[in-house]
């Protein structure tokens, strides 16, 4: 899938899983974190492509993200390898959990600067992928990140929402690529061969369903158009409650 497609599906997945009618009660979030989390999960849905030097996330906040991209590519074994596996989901989520542990109680409230920093980065990545930033977006990306860092720190409270956002985003990315013809190496670094020829399990150890065809196909475009429409409707409905929550937090 293309970068914007990953971002759109990440945001939609977060809104679907954290709303009041979500079947996963543990993920229910207040409106402000549903909206902010949609943005962070859109960014998190691009993390798996950090192994590619030309990926959006690799150039989101230069030069830092470019340095990290080189390191991830070396460790993961190239593009669509370790970052597109179950081990990749666990590794990226573990980093988010470590950040969530950085919490500071002040005046009876709990602030989460670690989650704020991760949120800032992910939103900047999402904004760049969705072309919401002017020009190349270097300065705008850092400014947007700083604003989101404050919101993420203040609004997060004791909720571990950033680890959930990262886990959902990375998982949705991998599922999206599994729907293309190339597939994903879910069991990396192992590359098990199927016991017999199977359409969803290749001889190279990749898993795929190929429902969306090749990356950037009309099927991907149609699917993402529906997902984007859902995301916009849900996000707009959350704006009033989010505004009240922000006003109460900074007031």
Q: What are the boundaries of each domain within the chain?
A: 3-250
Q: What is the predicted pLDDT for the residue at 156?
A: 64
SS3 letters for the chain?
CCHHHHHHHHHHHHHHHHCCCCCCHHHCCCHHHHHHHHHHHHHHCCHHHHHCCCCHHHHCCCCHHHHHHHHHHHHHCCCCCHHHCHHHHHHHHHHHHHHHCCCEEECCEEECHHHHHHHHHHHHHHHHHCCCCCCCCHHHHHHHHHHHHHHHHHHHCCCCHHHHHHHHHHHHHHHHHHCECCCECCCCCCCCCCCCCECCECCCCCECCCCCECCCCHHHHHHHHHHHHHHHHHHHHHHHHHHHHHHHHHC
pLDDT of residue 86: 97
pTM of the model: 0.90
Residue-level pLDDT at 213: 86
Low-confidence ranges of the chain (pLDDT < 50): none
* pLDDT 10s digits, 238-250: 999 988 887 887 6
For 92-113, what is each residue's pLDDT tens digit?
999 999 988 887 877 777 777 8
């Amino acid at each position: 899938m293309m970068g914007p497609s990953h971002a759109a599906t990440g945001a939609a997945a977060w809104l679907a899983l954290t709303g009041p009618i979500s079947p996963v009660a543990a993920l229910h979030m207040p409106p402000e974190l549903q909206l902010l989390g949609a943005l962070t999960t859109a960014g998190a849905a691009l993390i798996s492509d950090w192994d590619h030097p030309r990926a959006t996330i690799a150039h989101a906040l230069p030069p830092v993200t470019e340095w990290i991209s080189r390191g991830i590519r070396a460790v993961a074994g190239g593009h669509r390898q370790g970052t597109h596996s179950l081990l990749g989901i666990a590794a990226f989520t573990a980093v988010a959990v470590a950040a969530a542990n950085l919490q500071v109680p002040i005046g009876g409230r709990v602030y989460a600067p670690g989650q704020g920093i991760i949120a800032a980065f992910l939103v900047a990545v999402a904004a760049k992928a969705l072309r919401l930033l002017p020009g190349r977006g270097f300065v705008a990306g850092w400014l947007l990140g700083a604003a989101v860092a404050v919101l993420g720190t203040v609004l997060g409270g004791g909720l571990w929402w950033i680890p959930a956002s990262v886990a959902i985003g990375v998982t949705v990315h991998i599922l999206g690529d599994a729907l293309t013809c190339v597939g994903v190496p879910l069991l990396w670094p192992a590359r098990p061969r199927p016991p017999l020829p199977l359409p969803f399990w290749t001889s190279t150890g990749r898993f795929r369903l190929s429902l969306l065809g090749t990356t950037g196909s009309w099927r991907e475009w149609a699917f993402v158009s529906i997902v984007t429409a859902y995301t916009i409707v849900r996000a707009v409905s959350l704006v009033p409650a989010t505004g009240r929550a922000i006003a109460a937090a900074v007031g």
